[in-house]
Amino acid sequence: MLGTIVMQAINFLPLNMIFTFPPLIQIVYFSFCFLVGLFGRKKKMGFWGYFFFSTIFSPILGTLVLIIT
């Protein structure tokens, strides 16, 4: 039961959908994630924190979290 709920939640993440897009769109997506990480490198979560957050959820949410913190 819990495993099913977790799998359904994972299917809604943008990272799961991004791998079905063409390679050019994937490169653009990860480039934006990289930029969010670069801008956040001197913040509390650091480069890797913002990079992974924006990769898993989306660069837009990563940017919002970066602006808020």
Q: Enumerate the domain spans of the chain.
A: 2-68
**Packing angle, helices 59-68 and 46-56, rounded to 10:** 140
More confident residue, 39 or 9: 39
Check pLDDT > 80 for residue 53.
yes
pLDDT reported for residue 5: 63
| Residue 63 confidence class, pLDDT cut points 50, 70, 90 | very high
pTM comes to 0.76
Query: To the nearest whole percent, how much of the chain has pLDDT over 70?
Result: 77
Residue 17 has what pLDDT? 73
